[in-house]
Chains A and B, each alone.
Chain A
Amino acid sequence: MRAPVQAVGAVGIVELRIPNKAEWVAVARLAVAAVAHRLPFTIEEIEDLKLAVAEACTNAIQHAVGASSIEIICDASAEALRLTVRDAGHALPAASLSVSSFETPETPSNLGVFLIRSLMDEVEYTHDPETGTSLVMVKRVAH
């Protein structure tokens, strides 16, 4: 079931910073769900967004060396929800974020990245040695 379309109030940016620790990932998930509820996403799409942001945070926790926190930016527009998950650590090389690296269903290591790629419409990974790692994920609103 599609939620009723929100008016201008649904457009905006919400920023959240969580400690780089497993127990805080649920907070990121809930925050993204709360933002997504303000856009005309289906319940299923909101679940997809929750999973994608959680996977991105988990990736940061497991691979970002030296990052004390994770920044989550939810940029809501009439067209899409753009999620940026950023940390200041040294993370996975970009190549490991390709779908092809998920070789078999029995290889758990890249499942998270595979899920993000599958559930989101656009995914972009950048790593800068100065500023850290950033994963931008976009889920478009179906009209």
Chain B
Amino acid sequence: MDIKVHVRKSDGDAYVVELAGEIDVYTSPKVKEAMTELIDQGHYHFIMNLEKVRYIDSTGLGVLISALKRVREFGGSVSLVCTNPQIKKIFDITGLVKIFGIFDSEPSAMKELA
């Protein structure tokens, strides 16, 4: 079990963080580290692509929430790309759909940022 984190710059100001695998108590520190590094470098707009994430738990949600809190201090944003119904359900029942923009595709998320 592992999580792969791939970061790339989008056409605009945002960075796309592609995650693949499972985000749990063991793997979430790797995601947190990547996000902390990007934010410390002065990047505040992110599209987190969760299309290849098979599983996420509260520690993974915690990392996303922490990132959002930090970038908001600088007028930033964190949008999510997610179509997995089980993962969307977790965002639904925790009410996190209200604080993250959740999109079906990267282009949709980009469009919102533009």
Among B24, B66, B96, B99, find the residue whose CB has the most chain A CB atoms closer than 10 A: B24
| Closest chain B residue to A62, Cβ basis | B25
Q: Is A105 an interface residue when CB atoms closer than 8 A count as contact?
A: yes
Q: Is B90 an interface residue when CB atoms closer than 8 A count as contact?
A: yes
Q: Is A130 an interface residue when CB atoms closer than 8 A count as contact?
A: no
Q: Is B94 an interface residue when CB atoms closer than 8 A count as contact?
A: yes
Among B24, B58, B62, find the residue whose CB has the most chain A CB atoms closer than 10 A: B58
Q: Is B13 an interface residue when CB atoms closer than 8 A count as contact?
A: no
Chain B residue numbers with a CB within 8 Å of A97 are none
B38-78 vs A, CB cutoff 8 Å, 1 = contact: the mask equals: 00000000000000000101110110011001000000000
Distance of A31 from chain B, by nearest CB (Å): 13
Chain A residue numbers with a CB within 8 Å of B86 are 44, 47
Query: Which of B25, B55, B65 contacts A108, CB < 8 Å?
Result: B65
Q: Which 4 A-B pairs have the closest CB atoms?
A: A108-B62, A105-B95, A111-B58, A112-B58
Given known pairs A105-B95, A108-B61, the reply for A22 and B90 (CB within 8 Å) is no
